[in-house]
Amino acid sequence: MKKILIIVIKMIKMISKIIMLNRYHNFQCYKQLRIYKWIIVLMLLANTSIPADRRPISDECEQTLGELKHTLQDVMTRYDTLHQDALEVTRYEQLKAQQESVLAEMVRQVDNLKREAEQRYKAEVEKLRNSLQRLQRRLAENLRLLEEERLIAHQTRRKLCVSYIQGGKVEEAASVFRALNGSYGVVEVLNDTYRGDATVVVPLVLFYKALRDDAQAFRTIDALEELYRQLEQNNQLDRVHCREMFFSMNTLDTYYTVPEDVARVRALFQTLMLRLRELTSKRD
């Protein structure tokens, strides 16, 4: 609809300019008018072919468009008179002035119609914008609630992982840990589980052993080094704990691909071996 209005305005302005041509260029003027006449007729036919079930901008707009069609047809009929060679100058000027007046009025009507259409479109766009803003607010609220639920679920899984380790269910703990997709670090598990409690050292070591297939991805060496440091600091690196760590790290280096991490695994394994020999010799 808006495109049709723009075409109508352009056609009317073109015709108005042609009327201003000198009457001695009447023949050329007439040829151009005939071309524009058929353009307008085709435009009107295209407008008429709009399906009847399409909702008009408003009844007033629809009525105005209908009136403009008839007025344009009358204008083109009078143009046939303007091209006559026998037409007197006075009559020609009268007809030309009349046509200019009619066209000016049509432009005014179309401008009003265009403004009404733009206001209607603007109102529709504003409705759509308001609807989208309401939807955006709902989505934001839903996302907030979802984030809260995810946080609660995450915290619950963390606690469940720790609980499984403390209960000696290392395979279950490893399964829950993997489900957290790296959002829970191996050192965090250590800090949440150990807390200086010597009874959970062996389950912790076995837990890290259960993750050896993903040792590089989870960087279990970080936790093993930290566990060794804390055990020494708390004077809990006895023969049992040292042996458990030593055997759990056997061939662990083959599960790593980063050279620096491989070197760290081998270094800790060597340290545990020497410490285990020392503790064993003291016992003997």
Residue 192 in any domain: the answer is: yes
pLDDT value at position 22? 41
Residue segments in the chain with a per-residue pLDDT below the cut of 70: 1-89, 92, 96, 99, 110, 113-114, 117, 121, 125, 128, 283-284
* Number of folded domains that form the chain: 1
Residue 205 in any domain: the answer is: yes
Domain containing residue 206: 159-282
Q: How far apart are CA 201 and CA 207, in angstroms?
A: 10
pLDDT value at position 7? 56
Residue 91 in any domain: the answer is: no
pLDDT value at position 97? 74
**pLDDT tens column, 3-50:** 555 555 555 555 555 544 444 344 444 444 444 444 454 444 444 443
Residue 232 in any domain: the answer is: yes
pLDDT value at position 9? 55
pLDDT value at position 28? 44
Residue 272 in any domain: the answer is: yes
Residue 26 in any domain: the answer is: no
Residue 115 in any domain: the answer is: no
pLDDT value at position 46? 43
Percent of the chain with pLDDT over 90: 42
What average pLDDT is seen over the chain?
77
pLDDT value at position 248? 94
pLDDT value at position 241? 94
**CA angle at residue 48 from 3 to 108, to 5 degrees?**
50
* DSSP track, the chain: -HHHHHHHHHHHHHHHHHHTS-GGGHHHHHHHHHHHHHHHHHHHHHHHTS-TTSPPS-HHHHHHHHHHHHHHHHHHHHHHHHT-TT--HHHHHHHHHHHHHHHHHHHHHHHHHHHHHHHHHHHHHHHHHHHHHHHHHHHHHHHHHHHHHHHHHHHHHHHHHHHHHHTT-HHHHHHHHHHTTTSS-HHHHHHHH-TT-GGGHHHHHHHHHHTGGGHHHHTHHHHHHHHHHHHHHTT---HHHHHHHHHHTTTGGGG--SHHHHHHHHHHHHHHHHHHHHHHHHH-
Residue 278 in any domain: the answer is: yes
